[in-house]
Every structure is written in structure tokens, then in C-alpha cells.
Homo-oligomer: A and B are copies of this chain.
Amino acid sequence: MTTEIKVQDISMDSFFEKYEGKFKAIADKKRLKIMNILTQKGAMCVCDLAPLMDMSQSKLSYHLKILLDANLLIKETKGTWSYYQLNQKELNHLLSSELCCVFKPTC
């Protein structure tokens, strides 16, 4: 007895996995707050974000990494500072324009 698995099923599965990763990244109120702050302030370094988030540095780095790994943030390093900003293109692909100015800066 064999179990048929179609090619589409396999590629759809990795398609769903891709969006799972992105939605998981934004499915957290702390990370939504980070996105909200970055929507308003543009690029920020970890040390300036930490007090606004009322969060330890290691905890904040953990959450930033999750958003970065999902390609929802762009990171730029200057000296010892890491500046994070929202990946607008990616967020526009994902979120409705009604969420503009809340979780993403552009429509």
C-alpha cells in the first residue's frame, strides 16, 4: 500500500510555512509594540528602544531577532550600534492598509 503525496501539497506546505514564520513573528504584543514604535520613530538602536519597551537588553535582542529572521525588520550596524527599522515592502505585502500608521509606516 502506498500513500500518494502530490507535488503541489509539498510546495503548498512550504508556502504555508513561510507565512507561518512571518505571522508568528508579529503574533506577540511586545513585538507589535516594537513595530508600533518603529512605525512612528523610524530607525532606532537597541539601547534607545530598550527603555521605551521597558525591557532588558537580551530580551529585546531576542524579540528583534525574531522580527529580523522573518524579514520584517532591516538592520544596519554603525560602530557598536545596531539600527533597526521596519521592512516596509514586506509589511505591505502582509498587512492591510488599514493597519498603516499602526504596525507599518506606509500604505
Contact = CB atoms under 8 A, between A and B. Distances in A.
A13 to B, nearest CB: 7
Interface of A: 12-13, 16-17, 19-20, 23-24, 26-29, 32-33, 36, 92-99, 103
Contact of A103 (B19, B28, B29, B32): B19
Contacts of A95: 94-96
Contacts of A29: 13, 16-17, 19-20
Given A95-B96, A96-B94, A27 B36 contact: no
A23 B20 contact: no
A5 to B, nearest CB: 10
Nearest to A30: B16
